[in-house]
Amino acid sequence: MDVPVLKQGPFLIATVQSALTDADLAQMRRLLIEQVGKFRSRGVIVDVTAVDVLDSYACRTLRDIAHMTGFRGAATVIVGIHPELAFTMVQLGLSLEGVATALDLEEGLAYLNARTRPTIARGNSPRNSAGPPRNGTHTRGKR
């Protein structure tokens, strides 16, 4: 089953609906890498709320997605890992090191918003036109 990838502003959201075959995972990876360039996305969220099991290949694919999108200029965050699944993964040594994780979609968006603030501020804000664009108007979340 294909994973739907939605574009939400500057981010891409991939919602994994069920247990995926290896081919599905590869397809999802290819799609995300492609679309990150196409939409000039700054962040990717992979939502695994509906997933009960993640095997080693799935974990590796998630890590690969994070690293590959990183090379293409987008941060990736994995959201919605169940508590039981989290502990099982750690016990199997699949702790997704170096990959950002968040509790749910909302947290993931907050993380990406804080993480990927625009480097150049828009000129239409009176405050930003005066000073250096340290605190862009796009910046939400915690500093």
- Residue pointed to by tokens 């509906």: 50
Nearest residue (CB) to other proteins, 33 versus 99: 99
Q: How far apart are CA 102 and CA 80, in angstroms?
A: 7
DSSP H or E segment with residue 76: strand 75-79
Residue 142 makes contact with other proteins by CB under 8 A: yes
Q: How far apart are CA 11 and CA 61, in angstroms?
A: 19
DSSP H stretches of helix in 72-125: 83-91, 105-115
Q: How far apart are CA 87 and CA 129, in angstroms?
A: 49
By CB under 8 A, name the one of 33, 44, 66, 111 that touches other proteins.
111
Residue 87 makes contact with other proteins by CB under 8 A: yes
Q: Which stretch binds other proteins (CB under 8 A): 4-12, 13-21, 27-35, 88-96?
A: 88-96
Nearest residue (CB) to other proteins, 37 versus 141: 141
Nearest residue (CB) to other proteins, 32 versus 96: 96
Q: How far apart are CA 7 and CA 29, in angstroms?
A: 15
Residue 46 makes contact with other proteins by CB under 8 A: no
Q: Could you list the residues that contact other proteins (CB under 8 A)? A: 78-79, 81, 83-84, 86-87, 89-91, 95-96, 101-103, 107, 111, 142-143
